[in-house]
């Protein structure tokens, strides 16, 4: 019959939202069970196969010198990154499992009914029953339905890629979104010849033309081959066949990355057994308080179909905790000016409206924009020898409200947080322009850029 276990709170998935939400009830004396399907995923995607290892690889790739042997340097870098992720993984596990009220179970969970999940099979099967259930199962890579791609030994997911110690000499990436471009920048710097296939006419199609063009120029300057308007039609052994402009072309690749996005990892959860509704993409349907169609079951992070960012999952935990032990007022509608960063070199960070979006909405706007190389008040760019990129602000012409920004520059991943904070609290462009910043810093570029309205 297996074993039975009862808890106040059951959490499925050890991601950011799940672990934060599990910790607080545990501190308050409630019994919590957290189930994670793999011992290699304690802490979730970010510290194991996402943000931490990829950004660590960005760091190591930037440190490679032309005289460093590519394969040897890459293998050493992967070793350092794996040591780092192992440290994070152990820390995440111990931080929860060490608590008297929290039990971490490793195994694949699936719903039995709306209050119970089963883990394992036969005599070893464990059934966990709880009053409150949090689903934080994350997402998984999407592999495009291209003939010859699935099952090809050269096909890699992002997870497999960052655990591989062999640097591909010829690297093909299918998908020119954030994931594809980030990996292209990393592996190009490590010494791979990288080709990116993007079906859209241009990369970064959601950005303004000037911003996308500046990013494209940097990537091309780095030696990355960007093939836009391209549809990969077949993969046979090491040959990738694609159509572009009505003609068929081929390239050879030692490794192929499917960077066509990620989907909610809900297929194995048997959500129907609990009466949990999903949408066409398999994402769990939630309201603004992250409650599913069963009010005692919440869905956090990538699994609920929202933005796939660790910091959004963290904010999900705040919403759920407010429902469980707070006033129950916080919701997803409270989110304003959520920034994003593409970790190419230099990084591209954005927040709010693009110029095109603002004009489409009929907003009266003014634009402040300047290439980094022309920002006199930003000596840090010259100090660190990274003067490529541009900074652009979209500003309401009547109120001076900052509507959005795109920062393609050194330290952009940090600068964008200041802009987002200003937007959330109604700080006008003139205040950001006239603020006192440390010197030499990247932030003081705001003094310069916001002092120039170009149109």
C-alpha to C-alpha distance for 135 and 358, rounded to whole angstroms? 36
**Residue 14 — φ and ψ, nearest 5°?**
-100, 30
Longest dimension (CA), the chain: 73
Can you read off the two tokens belonging to residue 96? 């929860």
In what helix (H) or strand (E) does residue 370 lie, and over which residues does it extend? strand 365-371
Measured in residues, the chain has a length of 455
Tell me which of 231, 249, 296, 439 is the catalytic residue. 439
Sign (positive or negative) of CA dihedral 324, 329, 333, 335: negative
What stretches of 167-260 adopt beta strand conformation (E)?
Answer: 170-174, 193-198, 225-228, 230-236, 239-244, 247-252, 255-258
**Residue 413 three-state SS:** helix
C-alpha to C-alpha distance for 62 and 102, rounded to whole angstroms? 41
DSSP state of 98: T
| Strand duo 155-156 + 297-299: pairing | unpaired
Torsion angle of C-alpha atoms 236, 256, 269, 10, degrees rounded to 10: 170
Contact 283, 276 (CB under 8 A): no
If phi > 0 it is left, if psi is from -120 to 50 it is alpha, else beta; for residue 325 that is alpha
Which residue's structure tokens are 């966990």? 128
C-alpha to C-alpha distance for 192 and 170, rounded to whole angstroms? 6
Can you read off the two tokens belonging to residue 167? 């640097």
Instruction: Based on the residue annotation, tell me whether 60 is a catalytic residue of this protein.
Output: no
C-alpha to C-alpha distance for 214 and 264, rounded to whole angstroms? 32
The secondary structure of 159-178 as a DSSP string is: HHHHH--SPPSEEEEE--SH
Q: Which residues are catalytic?
A: 439
């Amino acid at each position: 019959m297996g074993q039975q276990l009862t808890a106040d709170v059951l959490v499925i998935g050890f991601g950011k939202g799940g672990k934060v939400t599990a910790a607080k009830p545990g501190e308050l004396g409630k019994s919590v069970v957290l189930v994670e399907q793999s011992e290699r995923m304690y802490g979730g995607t970010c510290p194991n196969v996402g943000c931490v290892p990829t950004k660590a690889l960005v760091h190591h790739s930037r440190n490679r010198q032309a005289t460093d042997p590519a394969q040897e340097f890459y293998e050493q870098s992967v070793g350092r990154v794996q040591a780092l992720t192992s440290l994070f993984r152990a820390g995440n596990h111990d931080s929860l499992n060490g608590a008297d009220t929290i039990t971490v179970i490793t195994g694949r969970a699936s719903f039995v009914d709306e209050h119970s999940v089963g883990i394992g099979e036969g005599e070893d099967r464990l059934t966990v029953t709880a009053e409150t259930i949090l689903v934080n199962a994350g997402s998984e890579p999407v592999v495009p339905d291209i003939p010859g791609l699935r099952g090809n030994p050269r096909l890699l997911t992002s997870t497999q890629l960052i655990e591989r110690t062999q640097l591909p000499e010829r690297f093909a990436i299918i998908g020119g979104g954030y994931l594809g471009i980030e990996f292209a920048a990393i592996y190009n710097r490590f010494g791979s010849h990288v080709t990116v296939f993007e079906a859209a006419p241009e990369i970064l199609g959601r950005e303004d033309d000037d911003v996308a063009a500046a990013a494209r120029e940097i990537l091309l300057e780095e030696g990355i081959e960007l093939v836009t308007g391209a549809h990969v039609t077949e993969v046979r052994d090491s040959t990738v066949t694609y159509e572009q402009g009505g003609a068929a072309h081929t390239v050879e690749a030692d490794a192929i990355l499917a960077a066509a996005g990620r989907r909610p990892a809900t297929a194995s959860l048997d959500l129907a057994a609990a009466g949990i509704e999903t949408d066409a993409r398999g994402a769990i349907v939630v309201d603004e308080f992250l409650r599913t169609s069963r009010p005692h079951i919440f869905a956090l992070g990538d699994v609920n179909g929202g933005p796939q960012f660790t910091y959004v999952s963290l904010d999900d935990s705040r919403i759920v905790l407010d429902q469980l032990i707070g006033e129950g007022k916080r919701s997803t509608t409270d989110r304003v000016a959520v920034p994003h960063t593409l970790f190419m070199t230099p990084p591209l960070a954005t927040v709010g409206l693009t110029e095109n979006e603002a004009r489409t909405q009929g907003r009266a706007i003014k634009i402040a924009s300047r290439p980094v190389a022309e920002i006199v008040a930003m000596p840090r760019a010259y100090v660190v020898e990274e003067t490529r990129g541009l900074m652009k602000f979209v500003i309401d012409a009547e109120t001076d409200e900052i509507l959005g920004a795109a920062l393609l520059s050194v330290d952009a991943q940090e600068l964008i947080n200041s802009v987002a904070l200003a937007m959330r609290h109604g700080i006008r462009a003139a205040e950001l322009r006239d603020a006192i910043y440390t010197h030499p810093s990247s932030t003081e570029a705001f003094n310069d850029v916001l002092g120039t309205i170009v149109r």
